[in-house]
């Protein structure tokens, strides 16, 4: 820990701000003015997924993790565009509201594509990437994508109902456990699916079903994400949990096609490494950011 980092700075703060009439919840840790690590969350989660990581890095970096509209403790306003472009625009507006001009991005799950859309839009704002189980290569998607791929091929009402059935408490549980070995599953708290399911109402559930059903449109963006990486070559750390039915080991290795200089670490974990492998992830991120994202 650096000498001027006091206890108050490394503790996570829970904050709200008004963004064009929308009440936004976000978590913040670290000193204002320190290099920023922006933490967009995945599905079916919220900024809660970063609660343990943030204080472990807050002595040297300024960490910001918002809840997206329709997720966590943020409002679910009418008129918001609940798709990846809408979330990317939100992230852009949110960071500008906080005066965050340049930052490293943590890319995980849905947050990967949302963050990369922001990076494509504003490449000069991206200092570095930390990629953790975020998929942008269609040819290496895992077997758990088969149901969605079937829907994309034949979008019937019956196939859509299968998506709707997965937006449930049991479906959330499956998303968080996601094929990790039993001894690792014991490290994943039921608080994750219990909390996030308790925050769902019928409107949020419909939004989630619509977003998942339209993922084919996001997959069509995959070549654009890859092009951004090839063109800009941002310093990149890849920490990957291969025990992931959606994004197995080959999904992580695929990034090296476009980022041959990226640092890749395959850990003994799955999709939610911050729950199961935090003590391994933290020193990897600290070492990487110390080299590529300092004041």
Q: For the chain, what are the domain ranges?
A: 7-142+221-292
Q: What is the pLDDT of residues 118-146, one digit of tens each?
A: 999 999 999 999 999 999 999 999 999 99
In contact, 247 and 106? CB cutoff 8 Å: no
Fold of 7-142+221-292: Rossmann fold (3.40.50)
218-221 long-range contacts (CB < 8 A, ≥24 apart) are 218/84, 218/113, 219/138, 219/152, 221/84, 221/113, 221/117
- Confidence label for 202 from pLDDT (cuts 50, 70 and 90): very high
Average pLDDT, the chain: 96
Cβ 39 vs Cβ 48: under 8 Å: no
Length reported for the chain: 295
- Write down the pLDDT at residue 9: 82
Does the pLDDT at position 205 exceed 60? yes
User: pLDDT tens, 220-250?
Assistant: 999 999 999 999 999 999 999 999 999 999 9
Mean predicted confidence (pLDDT) in 143-172: 95
- Indicate the angle between helix axes 191-198 and 169-177, nearest 10 degrees: 140
**pLDDT reading at 69 higher than 60:** yes
Tell me the pLDDT tens digit for each residue of 141-151: 999 999 999 99
**CA distances (Å), origin 56, targets 9, 39, 70:** 11, 14, 28
Tens of pLDDT along 32-66? 999 999 999 999 999 999 999 999 999 999 999 99
Using the predicted structure, report yes or no on whether residue 160 has a pLDDT greater than 50: yes
The pLDDT value recorded for residue 6 is: 72
Position 190 pLDDT exceeds 70: yes
pLDDT of residue 5: 59
Residue 98 has pLDDT above 80, yes or no: yes
Percent over 90 (pLDDT), the chain: 95
pLDDT tens figures, 7-18: 788 899 999 999
Strands 236-240, 126-131: parallel, antiparallel or unpaired by DSSP? Answer: parallel
Q: Provide the pLDDT for residue 195.
A: 97
Question: Residue 173: what are its φ and ψ, rounded to 5°?
Answer: -60, -45
Mean pLDDT throughout 161-189?
96
The confidence band for 30, taking pLDDT boundaries of 50, 70 and 90, is very high
């Amino acid at each position: 820990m650096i000498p001027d980092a006091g206890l108050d700075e490394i503790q996570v703060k829970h904050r709200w701000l008004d963004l064009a009439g929308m009440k936004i919840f976000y978590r913040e840790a670290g000193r204002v003015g320190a290099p920023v690590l922006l933490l967009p969350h995945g599905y079916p989660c919220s900024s809660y997924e970063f609660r343990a990581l943030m204080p472990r890095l807050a002595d040297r970096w300024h960490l910001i993790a918002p809840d997206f509209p329709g997720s966590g403790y943020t409002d679910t306003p009418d008129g918001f565009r609940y798709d990846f472009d809408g979330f990317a625009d939100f992230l852009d507006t949110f960071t500008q509201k906080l005066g965050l001009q340049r930052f490293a991005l943590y890319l995980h799950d849905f947050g990967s594509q949302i963050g990369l859309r922001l990076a494509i839009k504003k490449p000069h704002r991206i200092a570095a990437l930390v990629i953790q189980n975020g998929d942008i290569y269609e040819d290496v998607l895992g077997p758990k994508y088969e149901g969605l791929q079937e829907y994309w091929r034949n979008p019937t009402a019956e196939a859509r109902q299968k998506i709707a059935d997965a937006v449930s408490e049991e479906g959330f549980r499956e998303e968080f456990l996601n094929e990790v070995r039993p001894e690792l599953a014991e490290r994943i708290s039921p608080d994750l699916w219990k909390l996030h399911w308790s925050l769902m109402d019928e409107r949020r559930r419909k939004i989630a079903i619509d977003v998942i059903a339209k993922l084919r449109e996001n997959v069509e963006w995959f070549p654009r994400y890859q092009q951004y990486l090839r063109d800009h070559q941002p310093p990149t750390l890849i920490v990957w949990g291969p025990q992931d039915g959606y994004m197995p080991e080959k999904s992580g290795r695929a990034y090296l096609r476009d980022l041959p200089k990226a640092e890749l670490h395959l850990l003994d974990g799955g999709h939610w490494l911050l729950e199961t492998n935090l003590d391994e992830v933290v020193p990897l991120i600290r070492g990487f950011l110390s080299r590529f994202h300092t004041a």
